[in-house]
Structure 1
């Protein structure tokens, strides 16, 4: 069994320190304990991302983020009972406590990230790449060389390491270059099929071209992103939220170059000099459950924001998943240059 003791973290540690521990350990969660190893709470990747959405600082004490009442097992229970608790609560890890609430073991359902997933991944790779001209005059944007190979190949490899092997590529501009390189995907250890946008369909409209509605949640991603997102955590987050659709988001900062004035009627109340504004923005990665297809019009232009607006109007559960991993949208020449500069460090 993996060394569960590496998941223990003391109550005085910060959110950032806990993030690092979770990313470094194979069990993908942390157990918060006091100086006597008494269980205080647990922290999952989902807990961390929800804290980020609430605007929590990376320096906050982990006690502000942890689940103080996690589901636990006891030493008096059998292994079969522990597994039953895990399955009935849809958990992957179960802390086992003994006398005085001390943590003495962790039982887990080990979903190996290398195991093949049934979920389909739809990659949107039909764009013109106008802002990257002249680089895209003769080649589609996803085939631009980043780190010595096509960006699209790195994207597929990123999914493959988490067990995703069923791909559909939505193609249009210079589609032959993509199809000739990847073909059916066999050379890359995956399965690839294609749908063609004969007209502009938008980031969600192409979903109506799929030959059949998937039976499992599918991931949809723009084909111009360089990212190291954990797709397992993304899918688990989507399922745990009981969402019809999940949008990945990034925190975007910008500084207002002026002093911002606040008033109460005609009275000046404060001046904030060149404040920094923070907002979450669409990161171009989505998880969609099969029910979402009822909201997508047939064979017409339809963007992902339009789809999420429809879900919101219909009072359906649409979730947001904050990306805390490396992410870069290669939409401009300077982004392409930055991607090549950072590739070796990120993907060595």
Structure 2
């Protein structure tokens, strides 16, 4: 796809911009690339999801300059290159976007994989943990399981399934316990939604990982697990590709979380003041509730034994098996409280009538 100028300018930034500006463009456009250009429209480099993830793993902050992460030797193609050759370059270099430039590296457009090649279907299972009781959302969850609460006119679960389906997933397993029949009656076998759905039925609460012990036959290939109350724009397909690339047994999607202290903090040594910081911001990495696993990870579970995801990862780690993180910057909402549900109903791409941008 040779993008019109109006589009590629929407995904362009100057080299003095912040990484947060690049993240905003990636989230807003969904095009998975940002062009770093000079004032005359000449290409200096590119930023992709992968560049941001690598930067976050190295400790780069989103308030830092894009100079710290952008790729200065980006692969580019001339406008006359044939479609078949562009596809071969994308496959050989494992990329999904290639800028189109003239002989002086002035931007003319961008080729996107999704536009010149149909999406691959994935045989991998997508497992959705939907058995929780949602006590913090009562009374809304008195008669509905939390994953069936409405966001922009659809159950949370339906948004998750639609997003995974757009990433090529067709095979789903939903773990149910609390008011599980409501979920079964709505989704049935999934055919109405263009997918295949099966169910794991908990006889008692098994935590965020324990239901994985209920498979009669374990999955034959790597699979995705997500909490049934997480709405996100991450690519589940890219997550499982990343997981495979690093030959991990378990991969956890994680997100940078910032908390600002409302007070100035004082550093002391006995009676003496050694320093002062006004309203400092602390950073931490949080579990985003989305995972990829090798089937061998299930060997650490006992049938019908309650187990949470942190415990499962700790068991794998103690066996010296590769457990890794997948840093995300994409839109992500964990719906645990009424305020979170209100926030989810204001996500622009789910509810354009909300009138809220960002």
TM-score (norm 2): 0.79
User: What residue in structure 2 maps to residue 272 of structure 1?
Assistant: 277
Label 1:81 to 1:206 Cα distance change in 2 as closer, same or farther (>3 A).
same
- Residues 18 and 65, structure 2, Cα contact 8 Å, conserved in 1: yes
- Residues 113 and 232, structure 1, Cα contact 8 Å, conserved in 2: no
Deviation by residue 1:254-296 (Cα, 9 ceiling, x = unmatched)? 3445543323566431133443322121121112233433444
Q: Give, in whole Å, the separation in 2 of the partners of 1:268 and 1:335.
A: 40
More moved, 166-175 vs 295-304: 295-304
Q: How many residues align structurally?
A: 347
SS of the equivalent of 2:297 reads: helix
More moved, 185-194 vs 302-311: 302-311
SS of the equivalent of 2:317 reads: helix
User: What residue in structure 2 maps to residue 286 of structure 1?
Assistant: 291
Offset at residue 53 of structure 1 (A): 4.5
Q: Give, in whole Å, the separation in 1 of the partners of 2:117 and 2:280.
A: 45
Note if 1:19 corresponds to 2:16: no
Deviation by residue 1:5-29 (Cα, 9 ceiling, x = unmatched)? 7266553444244334445667522
SS of the equivalent of 1:203 reads: coil
Deviation by residue 1:299-343 (Cα, 9 ceiling, x = unmatched)? 322211112223333443333233323322222233334434x25
User: What residue in structure 2 maps to residue 3 of structure 1?
Assistant: 3
User: What residue in structure 2 maps to residue 171 of structure 1?
Assistant: 176
- Residues 252 and 324, structure 2, Cα contact 8 Å, conserved in 1: yes
Note if 1:45 corresponds to 2:49: yes
Note if 1:247 corresponds to 2:218: no
Note if 1:190 corresponds to 2:190: no
Q: Cα RMSD (Å) of the superposition?
A: 3.6
Determine which of 61, 65, 68 is the counterpart of 1:61: 65
SS of the equivalent of 2:209 reads: helix
Q: Give, in whole Å, the separation in 1 of the partners of 2:83 and 2:347.
A: 45
Q: Give, in whole Å, the separation in 2 of the partners of 1:92 and 1:274.
A: 41
Unaligned runs of 5+ in 2: 353-358
User: What residue in structure 1 maps to residue 218 of structure 2?
Assistant: 213
Deviation by residue 1:5-59 (Cα, 9 ceiling, x = unmatched)? 7266553444244334445667522454556877644322111133244453445
Label 1:74 to 1:214 Cα distance change in 2 as closer, same or farther (>3 A).
farther
Q: Give, in whole Å, the separation in 1 of the partners of 2:242 and 2:137.
A: 34
More moved, 190-199 vs 87-96: 87-96
Offset at residue 81 of structure 1 (A): 7.6
User: What residue in structure 1 maps to residue 356 of structure 2?
Assistant: none
Q: Give, in whole Å, the separation in 1 of the partners of 2:261 and 2:27.
A: 34
Deviation by residue 1:101-123 (Cα, 9 ceiling, x = unmatched)? 78888777558575432221111
User: What residue in structure 2 maps to residue 310 of structure 1?
Assistant: 315
User: What residue in structure 2 maps to residue 140 of structure 1?
Assistant: 145
Label 1:49 to 1:192 Cα distance change in 2 as closer, same or farther (>3 A).
same
